[in-house]
């Protein structure tokens, strides 16, 4: 049942305010963040490895920034197909975390099995609590996204990010890096996030118009810095997966180390840049693109649009959100851009060619 939507993907994108509330309600109590037993002792850890595939990997890649910045916990993040065959040494006091919507992805499951008896504990963030990955881990943390049918992962991604941010906050608390007042402020922002998503969903038409124009492109670049860098990869993955347009993501600062050679008037460049402490740096990269005729789609907030919007080809304006939460909110325009571009191209949005919802072969 598509609930009145044209595609499951559209329905699942629109469900995000409600499933994000479910996720938050499952982990937040009046006194703060509560994990199911046996919990996680983050103070005892020297390192965390995060392993996953595809969009789940990109949730993990985002979480690396959170764990390292807020909790001062070193994180290694890798795609499961590389991790498992590299035979990485697992040093003492290293916990291993696996992220999977289906909980059945063959490479992620194999990576988990590799870590058994080596890592101090195996944790998973899953959407299917009865899945193999959940059953074989010491602690499985469900994301409460509900059934996801569209091959392109949308609501699972934002729910994964939410659980991962809560874990990073818990880690910061356990490790003495997050005073209660700072924690409470972030939790207040998090509780407001489903409402902010609703506001952002109301701006869909602007994105649909931009997507009509992007549908003509052969190649599209995504740029981001800091927390927006993993998300740039997610935007590119989503777009290529369902619209079949070639898309690549780069760290904004890497542009002049090679990819800028690709820029001309035929290559739209999507720049993800809320007005945070890194904004000015990203704007100067954006100007480098424009100086070479590149057409910039700037995804930013009111302050960002005010200061740099006039220079961009198109601006998609997001509601205000605190810096830490920006990757969760900015996933939405990335999803909608991919969705509307695919619809404009007439591809099979829910069942893109050559892809399966759950990759259980290696």
Q: Tell which one of 40, 152, 169, 193 touches ligand M6R (CB under 6 A).
A: 152
**Residue carrying the six token digits 């869909």:** 204
Q: Tell which one of 241, 276, 301, 350 touches ligand M6R (CB under 6 A).
A: 241
102 binds ligand M6R (CB under 6 A): yes
* Residues of this chain, 11-70, that bind ligand M6R according to CB under 6 A: 53-56
What is the total count of residues that contact ligand M6R (CB under 6 A)? 15
Choices 95-103, 181-189, 253-261, 340-348 (CB under 6 A): range interacting with ligand M6R: 95-103
**Contact of 190 with 316, CB cutoff 8 Å:** no
358 binds ligand M6R (CB under 6 A): yes
- Of 60 and 259, the one with the shorter C-beta distance to ligand M6R is 60
CA atoms of 48 and 126, how far apart (whole Å):
17
- Of 177 and 357, the one with the shorter C-beta distance to ligand M6R is 357
Q: Tell which one of 16, 105, 137, 335 touches ligand M6R (CB under 6 A).
A: 105
Residue of minimal CB distance from ligand M6R? 54
243 binds ligand M6R (CB under 6 A): no
**Contact of 5 with 14, CB cutoff 8 Å:** yes
Choices 32-40, 151-159, 177-185, 194-202 (CB under 6 A): range interacting with ligand M6R: 151-159
User: What's CA 283's distance to the chain center, in Å?
Assistant: 22
174 binds ligand M6R (CB under 6 A): no
Q: What angle do CA 196, 199, 204 make, to 5 degrees?
A: 130
Q: How far is the CB of 70 from ligand M6R (least distance, A)?
A: 24
158 binds ligand M6R (CB under 6 A): no
Altogether, the residues listed in the chain come to a count of 362
Count of alpha carbons within 13 angstroms of residue 343, beta-carbon side:
18
Q: Which DSSP state fits 319?
A: P
Q: How far is the CB of 294 from ligand M6R (least distance, A)?
A: 26
132 binds ligand M6R (CB under 6 A): no
Q: Are strands 139-142 and 219-224 parallel, antiparallel or unpaired?
A: unpaired
Q: Secondary structure of the chain: what % helix, strand, coil (to 5)?
A: 50, 15, 30
Q: Tell which one of 51, 81, 101, 120 touches ligand M6R (CB under 6 A).
A: 101
190 binds ligand M6R (CB under 6 A): no
CA atoms of 32 and 191, how far apart (whole Å):
12
For 112, 211, 314, 333, the CA distances from 344, given in Å and listed in that order, are 40, 7, 18, 16
Burial of 4 (0-12, 13-18, 19+ CB in 10 A): exposed
CA atoms of 32 and 278, how far apart (whole Å):
30
100 binds ligand M6R (CB under 6 A): yes
Binding site for ligand M6R (CB under 6 A): 53-56, 100-102, 105, 108, 151-153, 241, 358-359
């Amino acid at each position: 049942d598509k609930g009145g939507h044209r595609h499951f993907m559209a329905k699942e994108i629109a469900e995000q305010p409600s499933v994000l509330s479910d996720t938050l309600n499952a982990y937040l109590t009046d006194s703060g963040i509560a994990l199911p037993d046996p919990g996680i002792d983050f103070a005892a850890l020297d390192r965390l490895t995060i392993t996953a595939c595809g969009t789940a990997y990109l949730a993990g890649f985002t979480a690396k920034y959170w764990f390292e910045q807020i909790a001062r916990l070193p994180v290694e993040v890798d795609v499961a197909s590389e991790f498992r065959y590299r035979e990485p040494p697992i040093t003492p006091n290293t916990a291993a975390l696996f992220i999977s919507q289906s909980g059945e992805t063959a490479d992620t499951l194999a990576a988990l099995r590799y870590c058994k008896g080596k890592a101090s504990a195996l944790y998973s963030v899953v959407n299917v609590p009865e899945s193999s990955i959940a059953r074989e881990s010491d602690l499985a943390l469900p994301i409460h996204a509900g059934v996801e049918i569209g091959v392109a992962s949308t609501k699972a991604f934002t729910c994964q990010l939410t659980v991962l941010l809560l874990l990073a906050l818990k880690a910061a608390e356990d490790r003495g890096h997050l005073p209660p007042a700072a924690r409470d402020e972030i939790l207040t922002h998090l509780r407001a996030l489903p409402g902010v998503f609703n506001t952002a969903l109301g701006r869909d038409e602007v994105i649909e118009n931009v997507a009509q124009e992007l549908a003509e492109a052969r190649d599209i670049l995504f740029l981001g810095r800091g927390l927006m860098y993993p998300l740039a990869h997610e935007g590119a993955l989503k777009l290529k997966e369902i619209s079949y347009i070639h898309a690549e993501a780069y760290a904004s600062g890497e542009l002049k180390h090679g990819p800028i050679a690709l820029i001309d008037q035929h290559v739209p460049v999507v720049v993800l840049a809320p007005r945070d402490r890194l904004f000015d740096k990203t704007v100067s990269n954006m100007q480098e693109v424009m100086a070479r005729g590149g057409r910039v789609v700037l995804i930013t907030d009111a302050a960002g649009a005010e200061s740099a919007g006039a220079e961009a080809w198109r601006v998609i304006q997001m509601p205000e959100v605190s810096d830490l939460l920006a990757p969760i909110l900015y996933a939405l325009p990335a999803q909608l851009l991919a969705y509307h571009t695919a619809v404009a191209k007439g591809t099979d949005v829910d069942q893109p060619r050559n892809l399966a919802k759950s990759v259980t072969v290696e």
